[in-house]
Amino acid sequence: MSKRKKAPAGKKQQKKVAAEQSPIVEPSSPAERAVYKKVFKFSALAILLITILLSLFSGINGDDEFQDDYSEKLADYYLSMGADTSALYIEKGNMHLYGGFFDLATGLANRALGFEQVDMAYHHVRHIFNAIIGVLAMLFVGLLAKEIAGWRAGILALWFIFLSPRFLGHSLMNPKDIPFAAGFAIATYYMVVLFKSMPKPNWKIALGVALGIALALATRAGGLLLFGYLGLFAGLDFLFKYGLKGLTQESKALLTYLIYCLGIAVTGYVLAILTWPAALADPIGHPLAALTEFSKLGVKIRVLFAGENLLSDDTAWYYSVLWIVKTVPLFTLLGFVGSLFILPSILKRYNTTAVLLAYFATLFPVAYIIYKDSILHDGWRHLMFIYPTMVVIAAVFWVTLESFLKGRKTGRYVLYGVLGLLAVDAVLFIVRNPQYAYVYFNPLGGGIKGAYGYYETDYWGVSVRQAIDWMAAEGILSPEMQDTVTLGTTFFYNTSRLTRKRFNGKVKVKYVRFNTRYSESWDYGIFPSRYIRGAHLRSGNWPNSKTIHTITANGVPLLAIEKEENKYAYQGQRAMAAGNLTEAVAQLQKEVQEHPDNEVAWTSLSSAYISTGQYQQALGAAQKALAVAPDVESALLYEGLAYLNLGQQQGALSAFERLIRVNEEYYAAYYYMGLAYEASKNYRAAFDNAQKAIQANPGFKQAYQLAARVLQALGDNQNAARYLEAAQKL
């Protein structure tokens, strides 16, 4: 018998590499692939046109105030060849910590076209560019799925991400998170293609990786993560192909990996900082400082989560996970979760490096922010860059599941039917609410109706545009108006930019806080739900009896337009400020008789009663306010003060404790709790609360005085003197 000759080691290795480069996909004829490719192209074109069209009807988002300002400063910096340095440091909004690609491109375009921020066309330019980048992200989601599992998966992934209301909605008006997500999608796709072509890559593919990295980093410093992805998966791909022995036996291939990774990293980094003035001034230190700042997201705001209005640094560890579970379409959620159950089959069928990279890019950022206890707000938009790979995995799951049913025609039809049913809710939401699809919640939590009062909806006030359009259609606002109309709103920038030029300067906009909205005089109020507490929303008392129109999504209020006719509440506030308490009580009583659901008027009336020594009436007014809006802080304060002045310490303590649960930083509540404990001679508890008041507000003189008094009562004169001395210095 003749012995079979052994193939040279090099050829064996080449076969191994070739096998790794050619993932097993469901077979189809060249003709079928050509058809799928055409379907993919036409789908992408249709999605581009639809998304651009939808962007023209989108409102301005609340953060555009900072983005637009940065855009103008970037244009000034580059047009002046760096002489105008205002873009290097921007205190309000910290925009110098962000890359400038999007804002520079749109800033220069608007300068060339002669548009200003008060022109709607200025925002159209930004929204169209946003839409194009959003579709670019969608395109590369489809291409990545195709690269892993074929054209059918690519088509499915493309439509999946387009029919994801949150991603589509952000693609219309979010110039931070969408370009960032697009950069990750592009870089991830080209990494997969690059690794498949190794050890003989095409330089154009390498440039694609660099451009994806550049787009991400030129948007947000978190793009530096992609350098880690590149290095980690280049190493894994090398090991999958050559094994540990390859580190010594395949030095040429190893060198190729190292050179390309280094070249891509340097190219991507350089391209990114070209549109980032602060990074140009300090190419290494500034991006790293920005990354550190974003990793802790130092800006704390109050967010509505699971029915509680919490500070963003006090949310549960699962904040982002729960938001994702409740807001991604069911076809994505079930596809991703389902993929975990058939992961061995997916890894066996498709390119291992590509599959693992998609999972890692989806799961690692979530795990990292949980581990670091990072601050997030506005739902999970800061994590939107994980969604492209999440969709890819979901699409791969569905086509893999379909392949399991090969030869079972009925089973496949059932699968298609299930997939169609899973898509119905998301599709209908987009059709019904194309201007603000980003407020979508899936059926798991009862949709947006189930989320109302428990989670933020229109947190950027995008629906302000629909409010202005309605007022114009009703003739309330018109360019031909003779008299000036004053609008009070919690979203000043959106409202002012949408009205100043459109109505020939006849609209005046005032910023007002929702809980003190009648302290200013205005004719109409435009109030999105963002700054209204969850308990108030759930009470059913908003929109209130002053509301003349409501902007809704699937019947759920996003914004209320109030009409202020008699202005009794404003007159009452004005009289209180002037010290005319009798007039204040009279005006506020008129207001609550006409609008008993006006919690601000009830609260102010309680304050006026306390100032006039009518404590029982003050208690009643505060409780009326709380019946309308259960978590109004000032109403809880006045309820506690009324109880305190009536000598009912237990009632006072109960009110102040509730106030602290609502707002743990409300220092006055600790102080008054201390007074209540002092009155009942519980000096130790009084001192503890005085301390908490001082911790919450170190400049609160009365808290030091309270601490000194109770220490004296406890016989600790030495420490009491210290607190008195501290109080005298304030």
Closest CA to 379 of 390, 387, 389: 387
Which conformational region is residue 449 in: left (phi greater than 0), alpha (psi within -120 to 50 degrees), or beta? alpha
R_g (Cα) of the chain, nearest Å: 30
- Whole-number pLDDT of residue 297: 55
Residue 140 to residue 92: CA distance in whole angstroms: 34
Instruction: State the DSSP string of 438-496.
Output: GG---GGGTHHHHHBTTB-SSTT-TTHHHHHHHHHHTTSS-TT-SS-EEEEES-HHHHH
Q: Cα-Cα-Cα-Cα dihedral of 202, 204, 210, 211, to 10°?
A: -160
As a whole number, mean pLDDT of residues 109-124 equals 96
- Whole-number pLDDT of residue 300: 75
Element (H, E) at 87: none
Closest CA to 518 of 577, 464, 475: 577
Evaluate if residue 304 carries a pLDDT over 70.
yes
Instruction: State the DSSP string of 601-645.
Output: HHHHHHHHHHHTT-HHHHHHHHHHHHHHSTT-HHHHHHHHHHHHH
CB burial string 422-456: b at 16+ within 10 A, e below:
bbebbeebbeebbbbbbbbbbeebebbebbbbbbb
Residue 243 to residue 236: CA distance in whole angstroms: 9
- Whole-number pLDDT of residue 83: 95
- Whole-number pLDDT of residue 378: 87
* Phi–psi pair at 389, nearest 5 degrees: -75, -30
Residue 387 to residue 184: CA distance in whole angstroms: 10
- Whole-number pLDDT of residue 139: 98
C-alpha distances (whole Å) from 119 to each of 100, 107, 171 are 22, 13, 21
Structure-block tokens of residue 238 = 């090398």
Closest CA to 189 of 238, 154, 224: 154
Residue 296 pLDDT grade (very low, low, confident, very high; cuts 50, 70, 90): low
Q: Which residue carries 């998301």 as its tokens?
A: 426
Residue 2 pLDDT grade (very low, low, confident, very high; cuts 50, 70, 90): very low
As a whole number, mean pLDDT of residues 400-425 equals 93
Instruction: State the DSSP string of 534-588.
Output: HHHHHHT--S-TTEEEEEEETTEEEEEEEE-SS-HHHHHHHHHHTT-HHHHHHHH
Which residues lie below 8 Å from residue 716, measured CB to CB, with a gap of 6+? none
Which residues lie below 8 Å from residue 82, measured CB to CB, with a gap of 6+? 277
- Whole-number pLDDT of residue 312: 82
Closest CA to 250 of 237, 263, 261, 267: 237
Say how far residue 257 (Cα) sits from the centre of its chain.
37
> Model confidence over 522-553: pLDDT tens digits?
999 999 999 999 999 999 999 999 999 999 99
- Whole-number pLDDT of residue 22: 43
Instruction: Answer yes or no: are the C-beta atoms of 485 and 507 closer than 8 Å.
Output: yes
Instruction: Answer yes or no: are the C-beta atoms of 213 and 226 closer than 8 Å.
Output: yes
Q: Is 310 helix (H, G, I), strand (E, B) or coil?
A: strand
> Model confidence over 22-76: pLDDT tens digits?
444 455 678 888 999 999 999 999 999 999 999 999 999 999 999 999 999 999 9
The neighbour count for residue 407, using CB atoms within 10 Å, is: 6
Cis peptide before 23 (omega within 30 of 0): no
- Whole-number pLDDT of residue 24: 43
Closest CA to 638 of 679, 595, 603, 685: 603
Q: What percent of the chain has pLDDT over 90?
A: 86
Q: Is 524 helix (H, G, I), strand (E, B) or coil?
A: strand
Amino acid at 516: T
> Model confidence over 134-145: pLDDT tens digits?
999 999 999 999
Residue 299 pLDDT grade (very low, low, confident, very high; cuts 50, 70, 90): low
- Whole-number pLDDT of residue 156: 97
> Model confidence over 626-641: pLDDT tens digits?
999 999 999 999 999 9
Closest CA to 649 of 617, 630, 675, 624: 675
As a whole number, mean pLDDT of residues 350-364 equals 96
User: What are the structural domains, with CATH classification, of the chain?
Assistant: 23-437 (no CATH), 464-563 (no CATH), 567-662 (1.25.40.10), 665-730 (1.25.40.10)
Per-chain mean pLDDT for the chain:
92
Evaluate if residue 587 carries a pLDDT over 60.
yes
Half-sphere exposure of 640 (CA within 13 A, CB side): 25
The size of the chain, in residues, is 730
Q: Is 29 helix (H, G, I), strand (E, B) or coil?
A: coil
Evaluate if residue 681 carries a pLDDT over 50.
yes
- Give me the residues paired with residue 551 across strands: 559
- Give me the residues paired with residue 552 across strands: 557
Evaluate if residue 685 carries a pLDDT over 70.
yes
Residue 644 pLDDT grade (very low, low, confident, very high; cuts 50, 70, 90): very high
Residue 372 pLDDT grade (very low, low, confident, very high; cuts 50, 70, 90): confident
Closest CA to 689 of 719, 708, 705, 667: 667
- Whole-number pLDDT of residue 211: 98
Output DSSP code: residue 512.
Answer: -
